[in-house]
Amino acid sequence: MAKRMFLLCLLMLGLMMLSGCGVIDYFFLQPPADTAQELVQAGNQAMQDKDYDAAIEYYQELKERYPFSPYAPEAELGLADAYFLDGQMRAAEEAYKEFESLHPGSEEIPYVLFQIGRANFKQFKSIDLPQENITEALEYFTRVLQGYPGSEHTDRAESFITKCRRFQAEHELFVADFYWRREEYLSAWKRYTYVLENFQGLEDIRSYAADRSHQAYYLYQVQRSERERAAQRGSWKQWFEWL
């Protein structure tokens, strides 16, 4: 009996060896890694399912493992879109800019430029804060409008340009009003005048700036006259005291 069992084990071992060690491979070797095509397909499916975290992981893995794959550009753009749809605007902006840098001749560039503008626009917080994001958004929307006038994104870019300029004008008015409240009328006048000269088309804002500009200049002249009279009185007083 023991002899039969021994022979049976030898027979099974031989069959395993003849089969190319498939059983050994099954138990002891790691499964094959996903291909670039499988990763991009998985990322695209995750995007359809609105599982943006998973999509980011799939696209990022493809970028790292297959940077020269023909699927890499699709993954790079998909990664930027996933960040954008997930509300990670700073990461989206950087990913879109990387795509533009790597693929300047891509037919997707008008869309990428438009999305960089949108990502910056969505980082806007308030008119009383620095406007770097709005300034950069305006730059990229203008590039779409001027560089790709026939693009499907042209009309929306033009609409965003108007919104950006209004935010900029409102910021300038906020600063001008701040100087006005502090009775720094010369600085206020300069800011109101800047709005008048640089924001054509925003007539409601320009009308307000024009009215305040005239008042600020008049009040500045009054302040200056009062300072000059006070200085003269002070000099006469000093002269009489010297006598």
pLDDT at 78: 98
> DSSP states of 165-182 as a string?
HHHHHHHHHHHHHHHHHT
Residue among 65, 76, 83, 84 nearest 109 (CA): 76
pLDDT digits (tens, 9 = 90+) for 51-63: 999 999 999 999 9
pLDDT digits (tens, 9 = 90+) for 187-232: 999 999 999 999 999 999 999 999 999 999 999 999 888 887 766 6
pLDDT digits (tens, 9 = 90+) for 103-113: 999 999 999 99
Q: How far apart are CA 122 and CA 133, in angstroms?
A: 9
Residue among 74, 123, 116 nearest 96 (CA): 116
pLDDT digits (tens, 9 = 90+) for 7-45: 444 455 454 454 444 444 434 434 455 799 999 999 999
Residue 25: Cβ within 10 Å count = 12
> DSSP states of 98-153 as a string?
HHHHH-TT-TTHHHHHHHHHHHHHTT---TTS--HHHHHHHHHHHHHHHH-TTSTT
User: pTM of the prediction?
Assistant: 0.80
**Whether pLDDT at 73 is above 70:** yes
The CA distances from residue 210 to 110, 196, 207, in Å, are: 38, 7, 5
